[in-house]
Amino acid sequence: MQKITLYTILGGFLIIAFSGCQSNAPKKIPSLKNLFKNDFKVGAAINERQLYGKEPGAVKLVQKQFNTISPENVLKWAPINPKPDSLNFGPADRYVKFGVKNHMWIIGHNLVWHKQVPQWIFQNKDGSLVDRQTLIKRMQQHIYREAGRYKGKIDGWDVVNEAINDKGKLRQSKWLKIIGKKYIPMAFKAAAKAAPKAELYYNDYDLYKPAKRKRVVQLVRNLQKKGIRIDGIGMQGHWSLKKPDLKQVQKSINAFSKLGVKVMISELDIKILNPGYFANKDSTTNNPDPYKNGLPDSVQTQLTNRYVSIFKLLYKNRNKISRVTFWGVNNGDSWLNYRPKKHTAYPLLFNRKNQPTPAFWGVVHAIKKMKRQNK
Ligand code: XIL
């Protein structure tokens, strides 16, 4: 009787142990930072909710997967200094503290931009535009204060963001109108003074476009000629299933790295629905949120293939690329869920439960294979 019980228990154990080896056992999830550890840093933009402990799952994922972070919004000028006499460094301090604690490569984003900048800085008390000297002073003061505060902690700054328009001309921002084109070298000079050890970057979208590529090359050469430090170019990477043509991306990577600066993909995400879809009344009235309940297999396959092609390209360029950062941690917190209209977006490699998506596995398998073949 006793023997039978013993066998039953043993048998039970064996069944449990054996079933643990079956396919329903959890697959070990590799980390992107480890996969690319000899190639480039891999990161994600983190948001205020995560910094304040409201998404512990996403925070754990960041700690497991990434070795660099970017601040989605908390370091921008408007939240930090909304009114002349109000300064709010709380969330930004938390961001930097999180990065230091987790030994991350910490990105500062950004110092000078035409968006998310408080309007008061361009205005006199009566609402008229300030003169050139006043704006130069305000810009320098902001850079000294913010980049200076995190001196030795923030490793790389997006000093100037999106200064070039789609035609490859300097954007007609208030910066340009009031200060003139010198605001760019002035910003870099001030950043170099405030944070002498941090890397300094120019960051922009659509840098695969020939006109923008050409203008960025000119901008960097101009700084270099003047002896003003610039260490890298961030290609944002807000891309879609079809655009850009990766050959154009390759051309920009080549052109930028020839300048002797680092090249980064600084804000990677992939749109499935293009702005055209939302602009079309028929499509949006009939189906405002087509992938609300998930992606059909055929679309998922397109997304996986797109991500695989992108990462194959980035991996091939590992000698030129220093960092690849996703704009968000998981699909649920991506800004694209609200752009151009509210919908369910799938732009990143982790789903709303912080689990890897088929695109994640596609990338992992493709890169492991390339590594095995020494490609
Ligand atoms: C976006 C944020 O993700 C949004 O939450 C915010 O409402 C607008 O800005 N280029 C940039 C980023 O350089 O700062 C932008 O981030 C996305 C486009």
pLDDT tens, residue by residue, 137-163: 999 999 999 999 999 999 999 999 999
What pLDDT score does 165 carry?
A: 97
Ligand 1 pocket check for 161: Cβ under 6 Å? yes
What pLDDT score does 7 carry?
A: 58
d(CA 222, CA 184): 10
pLDDT at 18 over 60: no
pLDDT digits 0-9 by tens, 285-344: 889 999 999 999 999 999 999 999 999 999 999 999 999 999 999 999 999 999 999 999
Provide the pLDDT confidence category of residue 1 given band limits of 50, 70 and 90: very low
Query: Which tokens in the block code for residue 194?
Result: 């405030």
Domain range for residue 158?
A: 33-374
Q: Which amino acid is at 116?
A: Q
**Quick one: average pLDDT of 16-38?**
75
pLDDT digits 0-9 by tens, 173-211: 999 999 999 999 999 999 999 999 999 999 999 999 999
Centre of ligand 1 from the C-alpha of residue 375, in Å:
35
Query: Residue 25 falls within a domain, yes or no?
Result: no
pLDDT digits 0-9 by tens, 108-118: 999 999 999 99
What pLDDT score does 261 carry?
A: 98
pLDDT at 5 over 80: no
Query: Residue 28 falls within a domain, yes or no?
Result: no
Q: Which amino acid is at 63?
A: Q
pLDDT digits 0-9 by tens, 196-249: 999 999 999 999 999 999 999 999 999 999 999 999 999 999 999 999 999 999
Atom of ligand 1 nearest to the CA of 161: 13
pLDDT at 15 over 60: no
Beta-ladder partners of 156:
107, 199
Cα–Cα nearest to 161, from 203, 130, 114, 206? 203
The pick from 207, 267, 330 for probing ligand 1's pocket by mutation, whose C-beta has the most ligand atoms within 8 angstroms, reads: 267
Query: Which tokens in the block code for residue 73?
Result: 């919004």
Task: Pick 24 or 235 by higher pLDDT.
Answer: 235
Q: Whose CA is nearest to atom 12 of ligand 1?
A: 72
Centre of ligand 1 from the C-alpha of residue 10, in Å:
58
d(CA 88, CA 81): 6
What pLDDT score does 24 carry?
A: 65
Cα–Cα nearest to 323, from 282, 274, 267, 239? 267
Query: Residue 321 falls within a domain, yes or no?
Result: yes
Query: Residue 43 falls within a domain, yes or no?
Result: yes
Percent of the chain with pLDDT over 90: 90
pLDDT at 12 over 60: no
How many other C-beta atoms are found inside a 10 Å radius of the C-beta of residue 198?
23
pLDDT at 169 over 70: yes
Ligand 1 pocket check for 120: Cβ under 6 Å? no
Query: Residue 22 falls within a domain, yes or no?
Result: no
What pLDDT score does 231 carry?
A: 99
What pLDDT score does 305 carry?
A: 98
What pLDDT score does 3 carry?
A: 54
Centre of ligand 1 from the C-alpha of residue 72, in Å:
6
**Quick one: average pLDDT of 342-355?**
98
Query: Residue 311 falls within a domain, yes or no?
Result: yes
Residue 278: Cβ-neighbour burial (10 angstroms; 0-12, 13-18, 19+):
middle
Ligand 1 pocket check for 335: Cβ under 6 Å? yes
Question: How many domains are contained in the chain?
Answer: 1
Q: Which amino acid is at 54?
A: K
Beta-ladder partners of 268:
326
Please calculate the CA angle 103-311-358 and round it to the nearest 5 degrees. 90
Query: Residue 97 falls within a domain, yes or no?
Result: yes
Query: Residue 80 falls within a domain, yes or no?
Result: yes
What pLDDT score does 16 carry?
A: 47
Ligand 1 pocket check for 204: Cβ under 6 Å? no
d(CA 108, CA 72): 10
Beta-ladder partners of 70:
45
Q: Tell me, what CATH number does 168's domain have?
A: 3.20.20.80
Atom of ligand 1 nearest to the CA of 205: 10
Centre of ligand 1 from the C-alpha of residue 206, in Å:
14
User: pTM value?
Assistant: 0.93
Cα–Cα nearest to 201, from 180, 168, 223, 183? 223
Please calculate the CA angle 37-38-42 and round it to the nearest 5 degrees. 40
Q: Are 69 and 45 in contact (CB under 8 A)?
A: yes
Bond before 340 cis per omega within 30 degrees: yes
Which of 126-130, 256-260, 276-280, 340-344 shows the lowest mean pLDDT across its residues?
276-280
How confident is the prediction for the chain on average, in pLDDT? 94
pLDDT at 4 over 60: no
What pLDDT score does 46 carry?
A: 98
**Quick one: average pLDDT of 93-102?**
98
The pick from 233, 335, 341, 342 for probing ligand 1's pocket by mutation, whose C-beta has the most ligand atoms within 8 angstroms, reads: 335
What pLDDT score does 308 carry?
A: 99
